Amino acid sequence: RLQGLDPDRQYLVEEINLRSGTRGLNTTLSGDYLMKVGLQVLRPDEGTSRVFRLTAR
């Protein structure tokens, strides 16, 4: 879970630095949701990582 976000703001969540041809997360979520639920950061393919960019709206 993330910390320090404004629970009343919306955040654009984009997954960046993806392999060519791979679709990543691209959605808008509330700060409240991100701090209470968080993001799924584990991928089924072992040895990979995920990078997210959050932009307050």
Q: Taking 80 as the threshold, does the pLDDT of residue 55 lie above it?
A: yes
Mean pLDDT to the nearest integer, 16-40 = 91
Cβ proximity of 35 and 7 under 8 Å:
yes
The CB-side HSE value for 1 (13 A sphere, CA atoms) comes to 12
pLDDT bin (cut points 50, 70, 90) of residue 40 is confident
Mean pLDDT to the nearest integer, 10-32 = 91
Mean pLDDT to the nearest integer, 39-52 = 77
Domain range summary for the chain, segments of one domain joined by +:
10-56
Listed in order, strand segments (DSSP E) in the chain are 10-16, 26-30, 51-56
